[in-house]
């Protein structure tokens, strides 16, 4: 690669980064002004789902371990926040203490799930992880007796909003005579953490550990023969993936101010798995795209199906709520038929052995 | 030389199999096989189909736990059923049915081979500190060297599955060499190769030995084994029937009988 070409490449990269940065920075104001706060709230959720999808991508996309119970780690993170910052136990820990604790606890649960499933692959692993996810949900559902910890199916309400430097994000924030609405503030917080998770994902992918994960996905026996301690490296994948889920869960609890076991059902695990598979397993931009699309599409169908029918037929023929999942399912099938590797599959990354040393 | 391992002087015993047995239910795939491989030699392991050659390989490289006996490598007993430990101690292998990381590039395949000799963990990967960067650069450099060494440097950025059969065999050897082995075990490397490719392989194996790496070779191509190996062991129905220099093995009546059936010789 020539020097001029390299310089042009770098300039293009800087320009692209700046453009994306500006778009991301003004997005909440544009969305808030045009589509309204309902949509901004959906975008905030999309950011949480991106974090989840990237976490699951480490387990499923990189290491090739089919995990159907991933949402359990989201639940662990969410409930830890709920228990440590709510009237439930009268505890009110700050965010900077809860998030790392949630990440660590979720990581520990990742290892607890990973350890007994080390010898399993494919379908068998899927069944066991699915069971694990349900066990966590059922525990959360029933830990209200004999000692009330989780409040059972009623869930925990009145959770402290996220506070940063003593400023609550639940109320509009006054900054230099300028008011930042709550949803906007949450957007920036979630964006910052999502970007951090993207960064960590990219760094891991292009590392000794990332290569070991992919090697296990490609051929476990060959990976062992190369000296990879597959047990430890798999556990690491489970733990890292779970950590991202734990962080997202904590944010979710603070954002919603309410958690209940319903939020962590099998359907949610399937949804996150769909984001990873549909976006493009193992490819970070693809997984992000999957996260965004699969959060926005069902909502588009929900909000769009009524008015469109009104315009076409003069009345609402089918209930939008029912139509939503039907259209969503059709979209999924279409993508899997026409783009089986996902919308944005991992391209043949030219690993420029020569390019880099030049 | 592999880390943490005592260098074994040329001609000394590098690996000793002591009465190694392996049973699968009632099938006795290996019966008290004892043999010794000396440092610096090319050691051939031959035998008719089903003689137990690959089983022996799998015990040797930690994939199987032996039903009896033990393997001593560089003076220390080998931990059974821990393939990654075998690699760590300096035993690298290739597979009869090529096992590459198909959707990784040739260069990445070799880079995975460096795993066992490198250290970077999650923290290093995320922070990319100076030591991690230096290590990563060294991994890349070594991968480049090894691809060049086996003669497929021009395929570095191609996915392993896009490589020709012969090149895949070479890539597997490069990946094995990346673990800095003392003993390189090749499981039928010439299978399915044409004359030219076999000649190239032979030159490659001789070069590897010249670099001080002991080679264990399982092969069906008797001509290749007899021409290349310093010593040859013959397995038949899981029993070691002969271990000697090729000239002697070739004329051993038990070997001829095993290959051609009784009464012919």
ipTM of this model? Answer: 0.93
Which tokens in the block code for residue B135? 């290590």
Q: With contact defined as beta carbons under 8 Å apart, do B152 and B200 qualify?
A: no
Q: What whole-number percentage of chain A has pLDDT above 90?
A: 70
Q: With contact defined as beta carbons under 8 Å apart, do A63 and A228 qualify?
A: no
Give me the mean pLDDT over the A283-295 stretch: 94
Q: With contact defined as beta carbons under 8 Å apart, do A109 and A183 qualify?
A: no
From CA B139, how far away is CA B131, in angstroms rounded? 12
A310: helix, coil or strand? Answer: helix
The 3-class secondary structure across chain A, one letter per residue, is: CCHHHHHHHHHHHHHHHHHHHHHHHHHHHHHHHHCCHHHHHHHHHHHHHHHHHHHHHHHHHHCCCCCCCCHHHHHHHHHHHHHHEECCCCEECCHHHHHHHHHHHHHHHHHHHHHHHCCCCHHHHHHHHHHHHHHHHHHHHHCCCCCCCCCHHHCEECCCCCEECCEECCCCEEECCEEECHHHHHHHHHHHHHHHHHHHHHHHHCCHHHHHHHHHHHCHHHHHHCCCCHHHHHHHHHHHHHHHHHHHHHHHHHHHCEECHHHHCHHHHHHHHHHHHHHHCCCHHHHHHHHHHHHHHHHHHHHHHHHHHHHHHCCCCCCHHHHHHHHHHHHHHHHHHHCCCCCCCCCCCCCCHHHHHC
From CA A12, how far away is CA A4, in angstroms rounded? 12
Element holding A329 (H helix, E strand) = helix A320-338
> What's the pLDDT tens digit per position in B21-66?
999 998 999 999 999 999 999 999 998 888 999 999 999 999 999 9
- C-alpha dihedral sign at A269, A270, A275, A280: positive
Q: What is the pLDDT of residue B265?
A: 41
Give me the mean pLDDT over the A244-257 stretch: 97
Residue in A with minimal Cα distance to B172: A222
Chain A closest-CA separation from residue B6 CA (Å): 18
Q: Any residues with CB less than 8 A from the CB of A4 and at least 6 apart, and which?
A: none
> What's the pLDDT tens digit per position in A314-336?
888 778 777 777 887 888 888 88
> What's the pLDDT tens digit per position in A68-104?
999 999 999 999 999 999 999 999 999 999 999 999 9
A159 — phi, psi (to 5°)?
-70, 140
Cis ω before B131 (30° cut-off from 0): no
**In angstroms, what is the C-alpha Rg of chain B?**
19
- C-alpha dihedral sign at A74, A57, A268, A163: positive
A250: helix, coil or strand? Answer: helix
Give me the domains of chain B, ranges plus CATH numbers: 12-90+181-265 (3.40.50.300), 105-180 (no CATH)
Model confidence at B80, in pLDDT bands (50, 70, 90)?
A: confident
Say which residue, A71 or A351, is predicted with more confidence.
Answer: A71
Chain A closest-CA separation from residue B187 CA (Å): 13
Quickly tell me which residue has 């962080």 as its tokens.
A247
Q: Which of A216, A243, A219 is nearest to A231 (CA)?
A: A216
Evaluate if residue A241 carries a pLDDT over 70. Answer: yes
Give me the mean pLDDT over the A23-51 stretch: 94
Q: Which of B213, B216, B221, B208 is nearest to B233 (CA)?
A: B216
From CA B120, how far away is CA B128, in angstroms rounded? 9
Taking CB atoms and an 8 Å cutoff, what residues of chain A touch B114? 208
Q: What is the pLDDT of residue A352?
A: 40
Contact (CB<8Å) B144/A348: no
> What's the pLDDT tens digit per position in B133-179?
999 999 999 999 999 999 999 999 999 999 999 999 999 999 999 99
Q: Any residues with CB less than 8 A from the CB of A207 and at least 6 apart, and which?
A: B120, B124, B125, B132, B136
Q: Any residues with CB less than 8 A from the CB of A357 and at least 6 apart, and which?
A: B140, B141, B144
Q: What is the pLDDT of residue A187?
A: 96
Say which residue, A353 or B257, is predicted with more confidence.
Answer: B257
Taking CB atoms and an 8 Å cutoff, what residues of chain B touch A204? 122, 125-126
Q: What is the pLDDT of residue B6?
A: 66
Taking CB atoms and an 8 Å cutoff, what residues of chain A touch B149? none
Which tokens in the block code for residue B100? 């590459």
Question: Would you give the distance in Å from CA A314 to the centre of its chain?
Answer: 39
Evaluate if residue A181 carries a pLDDT over 70. Answer: yes
Q: Which of A327, A287, A342, A326 is nearest to A55 (CA)?
A: A287
Q: What is the pLDDT of residue A166?
A: 84
From CA B192, how far away is CA B220, in angstroms rounded? 10
Q: What is the pLDDT of residue A350?
A: 41
Give me the mean pLDDT over the A150-176 stretch: 91
From CA A97, how far away is CA A103, in angstroms rounded? 10
Evaluate if residue B263 carries a pLDDT over 60. Answer: no
Q: With contact defined as beta carbons under 8 Å apart, do B48 and B259 qualify?
A: yes
Evaluate if residue A44 carries a pLDDT over 60. Answer: yes
Taking CB atoms and an 8 Å cutoff, what residues of chain B touch A211? 104, 108, 111-112, 115
Q: What is the pLDDT of residue A357?
A: 39
Environment class of A90 (CB within 10 Å of its CB; exposed 0-12, middle 13-18, buried 19+):
exposed
Nearest beta carbon to residue A208 from set B63, B120, B156: B120
> What's the pLDDT tens digit per position in B213-261?
999 999 888 888 999 999 999 999 999 999 999 999 989 999 888 887 7
Give me the mean pLDDT over the B79-97 stretch: 92
From CA A232, how far away is CA B115, in angstroms rounded? 13
Contact (CB<8Å) B112/A212: yes
Q: With contact defined as beta carbons under 8 Å apart, do A180 and A259 qualify?
A: no
From CA A210, how far away is CA A233, in angstroms rounded? 9
Question: Would you give the distance in Å from CA A225 to the centre of its chain?
Answer: 34
Taking CB atoms and an 8 Å cutoff, what residues of chain B touch A223? 101, 112
Model confidence at A349, in pLDDT bands (50, 70, 90)?
A: very low
Contact (CB<8Å) B179/A227: yes
What does pLDDT average to over chain A?
A: 90
Environment class of B87 (CB within 10 Å of its CB; exposed 0-12, middle 13-18, buried 19+):
buried
Q: What whole-number percentage of chain A has pLDDT above 70?
A: 96
Element holding B17 (H helix, E strand) = strand B13-24
Evaluate if residue B110 carries a pLDDT over 90. Answer: yes
Mutation for testing the A interface, residue in B125, B161, B175, B177 having most A CBs under 10 Å = B125
Q: What is the pLDDT of residue B1?
A: 45
Chain A closest-CA separation from residue B177 CA (Å): 10
Quickly tell me which residue has 């070594």 as its tokens.
B142
Evaluate if residue A358 carries a pLDDT over 50. Answer: no
Contact (CB<8Å) B104/A229: no
Residue in B with minimal Cα distance to A207: B125
A64 — phi, psi (to 5°)?
70, 30
Residue in B with minimal Cα distance to A204: B125
Q: With contact defined as beta carbons under 8 Å apart, do A245 and B122 qualify?
A: no
From CA A78, how far away is CA A75, in angstroms rounded? 5
Q: With contact defined as beta carbons under 8 Å apart, do A224 and B84 qualify?
A: yes
Give me the mean pLDDT over the B81-98 stretch: 94
Chain A closest-CA separation from residue B30 CA (Å): 21
- For chain A, list the strands marked E by DSSP: 85-86, 91-92, 156-157, 163-164, 167-168, 173-175, 178-180, 258-259
Q: What is the pLDDT of residue A176?
A: 79
- β-strand partners of B28: B23
Q: What is the pLDDT of residue A347?
A: 63
> What's the pLDDT tens digit per position in A115-128?
999 888 888 999 99
- For B129-246, list the strands marked E by DSSP: 183-187, 214-218, 231-236, 239-244
Chain A closest-CA separation from residue B62 CA (Å): 9
Q: Any residues with CB less than 8 A from the CB of A7 and at least 6 apart, and which?
A: none
Evaluate if residue A28 carries a pLDDT over 60. Answer: yes
Say which residue, B11 or A291, is predicted with more confidence.
Answer: A291
């Amino acid at each position: 690669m020539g020097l001029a070409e390299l310089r042009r490449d770098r300039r293009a990269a800087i320009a692209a980064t700046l453009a994306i940065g500006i778009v991301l920075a003004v997005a909440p104001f544009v969305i808030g002004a045009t589509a309204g706060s309902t949509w901004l709230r959906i975008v905030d959720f999309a950011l949480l789902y991106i974090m989840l999808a990237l976490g699951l991508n480490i387990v499923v996309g990189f290491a090739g371990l089919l995990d159907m119970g991933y949402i359990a780690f989201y639940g662990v993170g969410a409930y830890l926040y709920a228990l440590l910052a709510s009237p439930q136990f009268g505890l009110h820990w700050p965010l900077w203490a809860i998030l790392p604790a949630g990440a660590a606890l979720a990581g520990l649960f990742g290892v607890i799930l990973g350890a007994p499933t080390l010898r399993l692959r494919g379908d068998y692993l899927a069944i066991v992880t699915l069971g694990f996810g349900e066990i966590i949900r059922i525990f959360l559902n029933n830990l209200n007796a004999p000692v009330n910890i989780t409040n059972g199916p009623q869930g925990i309400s009145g959770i402290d909003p996220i506070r940063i430097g003593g400023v609550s994000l639940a109320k509009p924030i006054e900054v230099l005579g300028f008011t930042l609405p709550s949803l906007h503030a949450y957007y920036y917080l979630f964006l910052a953490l999502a970007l951090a998770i993207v960064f960590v994902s990219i760094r891991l992918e292009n590392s000794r550990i990332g290569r070991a994960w992919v090697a296990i996905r490609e051929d476990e026996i060959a990976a062992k023969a190369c000296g990879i301690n597959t047990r430890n490296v798999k556990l690491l994948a489970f733990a890292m993936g779970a950590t991202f889920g734990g962080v997202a869960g904590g944010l979710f609890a603070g954002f919603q101010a309410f958690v209940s076991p319903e939020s962590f059902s099998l359907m949610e695990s399937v949804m996150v798995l769909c984001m990873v598979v549909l976006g493009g397993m193992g490819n970070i931009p693809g997984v992000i795209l999957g996260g965004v699309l699969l959060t926005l599409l069902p909502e588009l169908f929900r909000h769009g199906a009524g008015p469109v029918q009104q315009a076409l037929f003069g009345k609402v023929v089918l209930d939008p709520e029912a139509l939503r999942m039907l259209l969503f399912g059709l979209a999924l099938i279409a993508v899997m038929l026409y783009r089986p590797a996902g919308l944005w599959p991992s391209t043949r990354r030219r690993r420029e052995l020569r390019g880099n040393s030049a | 030389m592999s880390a943490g391992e005592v260098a074994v002087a040329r001609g000394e015993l590098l690996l000793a199999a002591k009465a190694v047995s392996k049973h699968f239910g009632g099938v006795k795939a290996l019966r008290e096989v004892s043999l010794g491989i000396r440092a610096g030699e090319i050691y051939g392991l031959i035998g008719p189909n089903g003689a137990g050659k690959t089983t022996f390989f799998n015990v040797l490289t930690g994939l199987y736990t032996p039903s009896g006996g033990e393997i001593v490598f560089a003076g220390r007993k080998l931990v059974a059923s821990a393939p990654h430990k075998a690699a760590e101690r300096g035993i690298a292998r290739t597979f009869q049915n090529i096992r590459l990381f198909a959707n990784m590039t040739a260069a990445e395949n070799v880079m995975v081979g460096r795993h066992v000799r490198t250290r970077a963990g999650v923290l290093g990967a995320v922070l990319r500190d100076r030591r991690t960067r230096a290590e990563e650069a060294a991994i890349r450099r070594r991968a480049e060297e090894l691809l060049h060494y086996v003669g497929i440097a021009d395929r570095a950025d191609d996915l392993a599955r896009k490589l020709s059969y012969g090149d895949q065999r070479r890539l597997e050897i490069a990946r094995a060499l990346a673990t800095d082995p003392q003993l390189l075990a090749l499981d039928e490397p010439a299978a399915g190769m044409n004359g030219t490719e076999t000649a190239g392989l032979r030159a490659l194996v001789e070069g590897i030995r010249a670099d001080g790496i002991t080679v264990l070779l399982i092969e069906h191509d008797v001509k290749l084994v007899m021409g290349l190996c310093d010593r040859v062991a013959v397995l038949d129905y899981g029993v070691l029937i002969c271990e000697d220099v090729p000239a002697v093995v070739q004329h051993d009546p038990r070997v001829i009988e095993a290959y051609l059936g009784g009464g012919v010789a």
